[in-house]
Structure 1
Amino acid sequence: MTEISETSGSRRRAQAASSSLSWNKVPEVTAYFWIIKILCTTVGETAADLLNENLGLGLTGVSLLMSGLLAVVLVVQFRTKAYRPGVYWLAVALISVVGTLISDNLTDNVGVPLETSTAVFAVALAVVFAIWYGREGTLSIHSVDTASRETYYWLAVLFTFALGTAAGDLVAERMALGYWVSAVLFALAIAAVAVVRQALGLNAVLSFWIAYVLTRPLGASMGDYLSQPAGDGGLGMGTVVTSVLFLAVILGLVLHLSLTRRDAARDEQPGPQVG
């Protein structure tokens, strides 16, 4: 009887652990994760410019429209029971656009200096992290398995995009480095984080979030370089072509991940699930 009881207890603990892991709402951090993340940040930059130029709603109107769409997608994301690539990456893409628009509104409509907005977003992100860690005891994306943790996660993601936009604009415009030089600079910064992580054992969670912030200005610099006119230091592809091109690549990668589940937590139930 004792052996049966111990076996049953072990089985229940294993099932509980499996259930917790399978409910994780974010993808594994693989090469796919970083590639799609950078592509989404590029789309966030070019799509924000495209919408602002062509919808005729003004910066504030476009911001309200995209914020409404983001709210709808986040409701769907919160209602899912596990990570779904289509829903998750759509939310990231929309947050990229909204984060860009928030920073642009503060700069263009309110007249807030980039130095100030960068500092404000940095403080806001630090506050989210402090509350998240204080209440949950972790900032790891491997344990985004409750509604409260998911709330903190998406708030952190939003502020990383806003912070990355402001900091990227500050570096590229105020330091007059140009788009491609800025892109190289931010890529080197991300590489430096990876080296410090591997060589000196920098905390994995800290390394992740630093790199996550830095991918925003990296992607934005790439987007500006491709889309802006040659006279302004770009390649002149335009926001339409650049946005469509990157969205097509994102769609292809997300479809691939939806079918293969290569970036899902290892204990999730396998099987093709689109979206």
Structure 2
Amino acid sequence: MTYETQSATGSLTPAVARLSKVPEVTVYFWVIKVLCTTVGETAADYLDARLGLGLTGTSLVMTVLLALALVAQFRTSAYRPGVYWLVVVLVSVVGTLISDNLTDNLEVPLEATTVAFALALAVTFAAWYRLEGTLSVTRVDSVRREAFYWAAVLFTFALGTAAGDLVAERMDLGYRLAVLVFGLVIVAVALTHYTLGLGAVLSFWTVYVLTRPLGASMGDYLAQPVDDGGLGLGTVVTSGVFLAVILGLVGYLAVTRRDVTEEDRAGRTAA
């Protein structure tokens, strides 16, 4: 996508193409997204237990790391798989820790945190739409759009954590059944989109929210002890395996650029 700027003489001259800062939404996107949400759940539990800083201290450390990663992301001129997915992993961890702090440290009911994060996400969407006229992620190519995008992503992760815990624990479904429930709802949204014409933007953000509790429930099911309804693999094994798969897929995408749109490929070539 190219833009025109006005020179000192008043004439319009072509400006450098602005490339999108997020990947094209493909099957790779959704696979890595679910893997990141799983790692966010298990890694948050592991770090909280092993760093010895307590839930609040761990949250502060991870928030600082997220801030540094976001600075790197905003400084890039185009989508870079390594930087982008590092931010997603860290957002997943921080989103989990925010929800856990409210629930465990401040004893805020899961029902209240779920509603609060839903409202925060709704406000973000409302402001984004008011200023940009769209919530589409196909062209996140300005600082303002990217800021709205990452704010929305953070709230979806926090909302997904709270909603996932609410369904799996308070409703006593258990982790395995929670995975099944969220998976079926995601399939239903996809079918509604492809068969009944549910809007692409609404479908995307609905599934984006739902993949968080799906991944979190999956992570808990794999990592938690058998007596608690899990498979007992532990947070180290679960996090390690999923991180390895994420690294492999991100490395593949960095080389092949399979998740870069044709428009952005052309823009990079022209630049």
**If the TM-score is normalised by the length of the shorter chain, which range does it land in?**
over 0.9
Structure 2 counterpart SS, 1:180? helix
Q: Percent identity?
A: 68
Structure 2 counterpart SS, 1:141? coil
CA shift, 1:104, in A, is: 0.2
Larger helix fraction of residues: 1
1:180 aligns with 2:181: no
Q: Could you say which residue in structure 1 is the equivalent of 2:241?
A: 245
CA shift, 1:199, in A, is: 1.3
Runs of at least 5 residues in structure 2 that lack an aligned partner in the other structure: 1-11, 267-271
1:260 aligns with 2:256: yes
1:27 aligns with 2:23: yes
CA shift, 1:267, in A, is: 2.1
CA shift, 1:91, in A, is: 0.1
Q: Matched residues in 1 for 2:111 and 2:174: separation?
A: 18
Q: Matched residues in 1 for 2:215 and 2:163: separation?
A: 13
Q: Could you say which residue in structure 2 is the equivalent of 1:6?
A: none
Q: Matched residues in 1 for 2:263 and 2:210: separation?
A: 30
Q: Could you say which residue in structure 2 is the equivalent of 1:197?
A: 193
Q: Per-residue CA shift, 1:182-224, capped at 9, x if unaligned?
A: 0010000000000110111011000000000000000001100
Runs of at least 5 residues in structure 1 that lack an aligned partner in the other structure: 1-11, 271-275
Q: Calculate the aligned-residue CA RMSD, in Å.
A: 1.5
1:110 aligns with 2:103: no
Q: Per-residue CA shift, 1:40-78, capped at 9, x if unaligned?
A: 000000000000001100000000000000000000000
Q: Matched residues in 2 for 1:118 and 1:238: separation?
A: 27
1:82-231 pair list within 5 angstroms: 82-231=78-227
Q: Matched residues in 2 for 1:55 and 1:129: separation?
A: 35
Q: Per-residue CA shift, 1:217-243, capped at 9, x if unaligned?
A: 000011001000011111100000000
1:55-66 pair list within 5 angstroms: 55-66=51-62
Q: Could you say which residue in structure 1 is the equivalent of 2:5?
A: none
The amino acid of 1:172's aligned partner reads: A
- Relative to the length of structure 1, the TM-score reads 0.91
CA shift, 1:268, in A, is: 2.4
Q: Matched residues in 2 for 1:268 and 1:146: separation?
A: 14
CA shift, 1:269, in A, is: 3.5
CA shift, 1:265, in A, is: 1.7
Q: Per-residue CA shift, 1:99-123, capped at 9, x if unaligned?
A: 0000000000111100000000000
